[in-house]
Structure 1
Amino acid sequence: MEDTGKNMMKWRIASSAENNCTCVTNKWTVCAQDASGNCTCMLVGSNHKVDCSTLTSKCLLMKAEMTPLKEKRFRGHPRGLLDNPDCEDSGIFKARQCNQTDTCWCVNTARVRRTEKGSKSLSCSELVRTSWIYIEPKHKKRSSAFNVLEVANALKHLFESRYKLHPKYIAAINYDSPLIQIGLNQNDSEKSRCDVDIADVAYYLEKDIKNDSIFHSDSTLTVSVNGDALDIEKLRIYYVNEKPPEFCMRQLVSGISAVVTVVILTAGFGITVLVVLKWLQTRKYEKVEIKEMGEIRAPSLQLP
């Protein structure tokens, strides 16, 4: 059943391509031309119309990615329902997410859990924004380091052209071979409806690095620095919320004002790590508690 569903989806997408009607920014779509020749694309598994001139929201993408898995059985449950996200009509995550066992929790705009898990009676008053995202790519070993300015220019161009991100949201790009540090900052007050969300940008980038691109035809991420390929072999992504988490305080220390979730990608595999940090008077982040793996510190970026 799963193979049949995938084959049908591939056939539909292929048919769209033959009609020269495709969604460049989202392969999880079914597109068709009307009598006037206008191309309309709908998200796989839903009736959401997709704006193919920009990125699709992370919530809708995750929902579409679950579609081919809904018939797959996993330990007696449909696997596609285990992590199927709940989205608002606008495409953002609902503040409260639940699984098939009616266990619920509150999330941020990147769908990172920020409260204890509870029943369906759990109330989540708001969807807390992830206002800072720190991205740490590490490129493969080479005989000499890249030029710092050329690396920064290449990555700025990547975020602006491929991921449609306005340059005002790129707070900093630092380079100390082989590690690159990128800071994205986007507050609710400055983000317009036309601007892509930095959480969506990070998801598209994560998929690109894992060789599972969301883009329809340009499936391979290629970054060139003065003619040389910038080959990324490892990636860490830190998500920082505007508001502190609401976990039971007996599990945390006092003075916490930010929670960071780190996504580590190596050789195509991802590990999600929860890192709890506190804000010091020196205005530097210090690790307080780490769950699920060893020590990680949030990057200290030098802002321009």
Structure 2
Amino acid sequence: MTSSDNRTTVPAPAHVTNTDEGAATKRSGSSRLANIVRRLISPLAIVALWQLASTTGLLSPRILAGPGDIISTAGRLIASGELISGLIVSFLRVLAGFSIALVLGILLALISGLSRLGETIIDPPIQMMKAMPFLGLLPLFILWFGIGEAPKIGLVAFGATFPIYLTLHGGIRSIDKKLIEAGQTMQLCTLGIVRHIIIPGALPSLLVGVRYGLSVAWLSLVVGEQINASSGIGHIITYARDFLQTDVIVVCLLVYAIMGLLTDGLVRAIEAYALRWRPQVIA
């Protein structure tokens, strides 16, 4: 045995490795911060030009209020409680309508996705109704259900059902048959295959449909609340439209956008937790 065989490798000091990891983490954080700053440049520039046009009189308040007026109007509506109460009513409508859509979309997708007969019966009517302009159904909903809460909730449910159904149906159909055969080899019953193979495999598609369905739900509510509504954000918009209050209209539209963003963020958080087993393609 030569002397070189008796050599031992001296490990690098631990503090060197920790320092390198800390520097890498700091560089990664700085890169993300720089990316966020770069993405904010153009929106802030647009807001600055908007405010400049409003201040100089190039943009009339009757056409579009300036950012400063919008901020002050938002503060006034929040202080009076009008915006908060309207937001609560609108949120409850979306919650009720989307809950119906979620149950209905999942049920129809399971029946259609797991059975050829079910697909033959269910899928053609769904595809036909999907092609219809569902916002144009509001007059019929008013004739059928009156001018109360039912047509607004029904419109939200009707519009949000299709994204959930389509994405979940596609997710079920895309599951590898070898996984189902493996489940049958392990003597899983039909319910067990659905629970342990179908649902986990189609869950990513379902969550995409939920995110898309939520955006459609808020879009449906914007239209539904502006017709025969005595409360909610849409009612505030209708009242402001009659008195040419563009600042109030913009505030309400921003509330819709923020609520859509928050609900989408909630689903993304659920998705990150439920699908944490998936490899991350983008760091």
The interval holding the TM-score normalised by the smaller chain is under 0.3
Larger-Rg structure: 2
Higher helix share: 2
Structure number with higher strand proportion: 1
Greater length-normalized contact order (CA 8 Å, ≥ 6 residues apart) = 2
